[in-house]
Amino acid sequence: MAYVIKDTCISCGACAAECPMGAISEGDGQYVIDAGKCIDCGACAGACPVGAPCEG
């Protein structure tokens, strides 16, 4: 199952920089993950300073 980004996102972009699939982009107020591109690797979760990305 693809990762999702919780409302705790602070829009720092750390997750997008670590995503090997380019599945994360800046949305309206926070970053979002394209479920069709996400390979459930967890790289985004490890890079996030506030733990916003989680398994959906």
Give the residue carrying structure tokens 């919780």. 6
Helices (H) and strands (E) in the chain, counts: 2, 4
In this predicted structure, what is the pLDDT of residue 1?
86
Average pLDDT over residues 5-22: 97
* Residue 24 pLDDT > 90: yes
Distance of CA 7 to the CA centre of its chain: 11
Average pLDDT over all residues of the chain: 97
Average pLDDT over residues 15-42: 97
pTM of the model: 0.92
Residue type, 42: G
* Residue 13 pLDDT > 90: yes
Domains of the chain with bracketed CATH? 3-55 (3.30.70.20)
**Where does the pLDDT of residue 27 fall: very low under 50, low under 70, confident under 90, or very high at 90 and above?**
very high
CB 53 within 8 A of CB 5: yes
